[in-house]
Amino acid sequence: MDKIKISAVAYTNTKAFIYGLEHSDIRNKIDLSLDIPSDCAAKVISGEVDMGLMPVAAIAMVPNANIVADYCIGSDGAVNSVFIFSDVPVEEIRSLKLDSHSRTSNNLAKVLLKFYWKKEVDFTTDPLAKTDAIVLIGDRTFGKKDDYAYAYDMGEEWKNFTGLPFMYAAWVANKDISPEFKAEFNAAMKLGLAHRQDVLKALKPTENFDLEDYLYNKLQFEVTEERTKALKMFLAYIDQLEPTTV
């Protein structure tokens, strides 16, 4: 049997999932690559891999897209790794630098600014541009909140806006995946989450950041009815955004 090609995100928030894949028999049935979110999405969209843990904002770009696992990267309120960092309060933001790593976080920032904060903002992906604020996600945000005058946790702001939790990334396939493989894959995810203490022991401590709180409290990993509702709402808001070049 050909191995299922999988792309997963190489961030701390996926370490439990990777642990599960590497410590269960499914490891012999997969070909796993670790990528940043945007590259993961690109591989699923192009067919370079069969499935991946990809930013949800890119799901519509995947041919024959289907969510194939009961697990995701989510939060119910503050997530502590998806931020708008700003030099000014949100009501004064005029320009925002987007993060090249994730389409979802960039679109979440645009949705919050337009529909929640009622702001019209100029966006750029130029890494050298001087802007009022930036989007930053993942491990690069750990312990960085105090480096900025204002830190807006987008998981918390989405909850304030909608009353719903959020789904940042889901396991999405571009082909039919057998029920047997899905069941085995879900079992591997569950195994990994049950061994988060082992994951924590392998992580390098981060100054001014509580990794245990992050993995056990800030992050939530189940695809729930409420999180699915939030996903549909988020994608509908994205459809209402004006097309941009970034």
4-73+167-218: CATH class: alpha beta
Cα dihedral 142→144→146→151 (10° resolution): -90
Quick check: pTM over 0.75? yes
Tokens of 71: 């697990």
Residue range 128-180, pLDDT digits in tens: 999 999 999 999 999 999 999 999 999 999 999 999 999 999 999 999 999 99
Residue range 47-84, pLDDT digits in tens: 999 999 999 999 989 989 999 999 999 999 999 999 99
Q: Which residue has the tokens 């130029």?
A: 126
Residue range 224-233, pLDDT digits in tens: 999 999 999 9
Mean per-residue pLDDT, 83-109: 94
Domain ranges, ordered by start, for the chain: 4-73+167-218
Instruction: State yes or no: pLDDT of 243 exceeds 70.
Output: no
CA dist list (Å): 138 to 102, 118, 243: 10, 26, 26
Instruction: State yes or no: pLDDT of 237 exceeds 70.
Output: yes
Instruction: State yes or no: pLDDT of 210 exceeds 90.
Output: yes
How confident is the prediction for the chain on average, in pLDDT?
Answer: 94
208: left (phi over 0), alpha (psi -120 to 50) or beta: left
CA dist list (Å): 31 to 6, 25, 52, 139: 6, 13, 11, 24
Instruction: State yes or no: pLDDT of 197 exceeds 70.
Output: yes
Distance between CA atoms of residues 33 and 189, nearest Å: 16
Instruction: State yes or no: pLDDT of 245 exceeds 60.
Output: no
Q: What is residue 153's predicted lDDT score, i.e. its pLDDT? A: 98
Instruction: State yes or no: pLDDT of 42 exceeds 50.
Output: yes
Distance between CA atoms of residues 224 and 217, nearest Å: 16
Distance between CA atoms of residues 203 and 195, nearest Å: 13
Instruction: State yes or no: pLDDT of 27 exceeds 70.
Output: yes
Q: What is residue 124's predicted lDDT score, i.e. its pLDDT? A: 96
